[in-house]
Structure 1
């Protein structure tokens, strides 16, 4: 995001993308709120976590996230794609083949997901119900 901030504040650079960044940054009261907006959907963090190891097709994601309905999984994937965290590649074959992977920007969230996993593991261990 530092690069985006540099570009946005540089007087010689004024693009529609930078205008969108200005609009988004004014929408949030703090960086945590912005982060949660990007990864805080019901299945977004789980989708990102599953894509860490590589590309998956929709049905593969459905199998590893069985609690997500196809409609909800589609919605969450679209939001992640629109926010630039996930790449979606459609191959012109029949039946349709669509693959999802982390974008470079999406890969930047891996340390956060790793920390969430570590914290969650400790939480589950410390607060297990017998």
Structure 2
């Protein structure tokens, strides 16, 4: 966390509110966010299901990523009062707006991976 009086903080805030690329990256720019969003896009999903399809993410990183996405309004968490407790995640309408960006990244990345491998 940067000090609010620092030049870097001011620069980040300026870019975040004046540069569409930086604004987009704020919501999907960390390592695991696009993968988590892509999987949640496939339908309502639970934490353990995410862990199965993303086996290399640590529990803490997945928890932190989910918390950030929820805090940003990109996903919604629904808690069911059952034993054992059941928690499900789904995209919000706001989060669904990121799908065209993720689809473009998936297409470009898939094409690039094929080119690198050949």
Q: Cα 1:93–1:31, aligned 2, differ >3 Å: closer, same or farther?
A: same
Do residues 77 (structure 1) and 56 (structure 2) align? Answer: no
What is the alpha-carbon distance in structure 2 between the residues aligned to residue 59 and residue 69 of structure 1? 12
User: Which residue of the partner structure matches residue 108 of structure 2?
Assistant: 119
Do residues 95 (structure 1) and 84 (structure 2) align? Answer: yes
What is the alpha-carbon distance in structure 2 between the residues aligned to residue 31 and residue 103 of structure 1? 20
User: Which residue of the partner structure matches residue 96 of structure 2?
Assistant: 107
TM-score (norm 2): 0.84
Flag the structure with larger Rg.
1
Q: Which runs of 5+ in 1 are unaligned?
A: 1-23
Answer whether contact 2:45 2:88 (CA < 8 A) is retained.
yes
The number of residues matched between the two structures is 106
TM-score (norm 1): 0.76
Answer whether contact 2:78 2:89 (CA < 8 A) is retained.
yes
Residues 22-61 of structure 1 aligned to structure 2 (within 5 Å): 26=14, 28=16, 29-61=18-50
The 4+ residue runs of structure 1 with deviation greater than 3 A are 24-27
